[in-house]
């Protein structure tokens, strides 16, 4: 069983319009709603890969009820979300079908009380007793301490559970010092953390700050991974256009599934890149185009000892 933690869950709402033009009215051609937040997206991809997944975090209000209701229809995903008084946020994606671009609007999330945070800690530590890996994903809702992920990383390490951290800003800076097994920042998050815009230098610097393995997401250029065993660059065989929302979460699912299956790093990275690209081709976050994934996986180029271009 794999555990994903989404402290700031969401109901992801995607609107499709033929062409998005500021300051005008639009006729929406399609609306989809899915359980959202990075960890829930990761969980759905893991389940689609055949892994059993438990999800935890906070949910509340009518939006939270909608998230939980939709999770009951997701095979392979166990709901261990914690109810809170505040209302779960919504994230709105407006997909422009003419350009392939997506505009994202993210609400802040509910304010978490100290009692709710303490209750979550109890649930989390109990879940750690029965899982093979954990992913800590996304932003922190208001009220949660900025060092929250550092504490959750330390709890996982104490329990002997491999932990992947995917967040940004100060939560990443503090969390990485707790020595997670893997961190997966994108290029901008990595530059903010280290002050360097050179991906290889920044990735090495992030390792020195505590992470065992740093996997940098370079967008359409793929992934760069550095650890004590070496460094690898994985790139998709072609550029894909579509909705990039959730592509990074699918990459996390690829890395995490590769970890629990004990795949060599080149295979983990190839899977992560193929899943990420196949997610861009899917209509909503937390899903991927299965046929495109199989085709891309065979053609991902993984180079050992390569520097970022």
At 307 the pLDDT is: 45
Reported pTM: 0.92
Q: DSSP labels for the chain?
A: -EEEEETT-EEEEEEEES---TTS----SEEEEEEESHHHHHHHHHHHTT--EEEEEEE-HHHHHHHHHHHTTSTTEEE--EE-SSPPEEEEEEEETTT--EEEEE---PPPPHHHHHHHHHHHHHHGGG-SEEEEESPPPTTS-TTHHHHHHHHHHHTT--EEEE--HHHHHHHHTT--SEE--BHHHHHHHHS---HHHHHHHHHHTT-SEEEEE-GGG-EEEEETTEEEEEE-SS---S--TTHHHHHHHHHHHHHHTT--HHHHHHHHHHHHHHHHTSSSTT---HHHHHHHHTT-EEEETPPP-
At 285 the pLDDT is: 63
At 244 the pLDDT is: 78
Over pLDDT 90: what percentage of the chain?
82
Q: Is 249 an active-site residue?
A: yes
Q: What is the pLDDT of residues 161-219, one digit of tens each?
A: 999 999 999 999 999 999 999 999 999 999 999 999 999 999 999 999 999 999 999 98
Q: What is the pLDDT of residues 105-119, one digit of tens each?
A: 999 999 999 999 999
Given 12, 96, 181, 249, the catalytic residue: 249
Q: What is the mean pLDDT of the chain?
A: 93
């Amino acid at each position: 069983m794999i555990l994903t933690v989404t402290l700031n869950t969401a109901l992801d709402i995607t609107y499709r319009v033929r062409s998005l033009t500021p300051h005008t009215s639009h006729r929406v051609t399609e609306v989809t709603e899915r359980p959202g937040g990075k960890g829930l997206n990761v969980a759905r991809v893991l389940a689609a890969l055949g892994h059993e997944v438990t999800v935890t975090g906070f949910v509340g209000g009518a939006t939270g009820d909608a998230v939980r209701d939709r999770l009951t229809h997701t095979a392979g995903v166990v709901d261990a979300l914690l109810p809170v008084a505040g209302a779960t946020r919504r994230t709105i994606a407006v997909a422009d079908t003419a350009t392939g671009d997506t505009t994202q609007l993210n609400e802040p999330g509910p304010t978490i009380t100290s009692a709710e945070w303490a209750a979550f800690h109890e649930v989390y530590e109990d879940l750690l007793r029965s899982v093979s890996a954990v992913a800590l994903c996304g932003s922190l809702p208001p009220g949660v301490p900025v060092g929250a992920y550092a504490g959750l990383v330390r709890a996982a390490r104490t329990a002997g559970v491999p932990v992947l951290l995917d967040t940004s800003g100060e939560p990443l800076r503090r969390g990485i010092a707790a020595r997670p097994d893997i961190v997966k920042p994108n290029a901008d998050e990595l530059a903010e953390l280290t002050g360097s815009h050179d991906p290889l230098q920044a990735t090495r610097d992030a390792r020195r700050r505590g992470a065992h393995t740093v996997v940098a997401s370079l967008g359409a250029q793929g992934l760069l991974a550095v650890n004590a065993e070496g460094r690898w660059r994985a790139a998709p065989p072609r550029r894909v256009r579509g909705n990039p929302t959730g592509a990074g979460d699918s990459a996390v699912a690829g890395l995490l599934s590769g970890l629990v299956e004990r795949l060599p790093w080149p295979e983990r990275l190839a899977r992560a890149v193929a899943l990420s690209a196949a997610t861009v081709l899917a209509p909503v976050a937390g899903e991927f185009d299965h046929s495109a994934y199989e085709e891309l996986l065979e053609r991902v180029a993984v180079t050992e000892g390569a520097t970022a271009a």
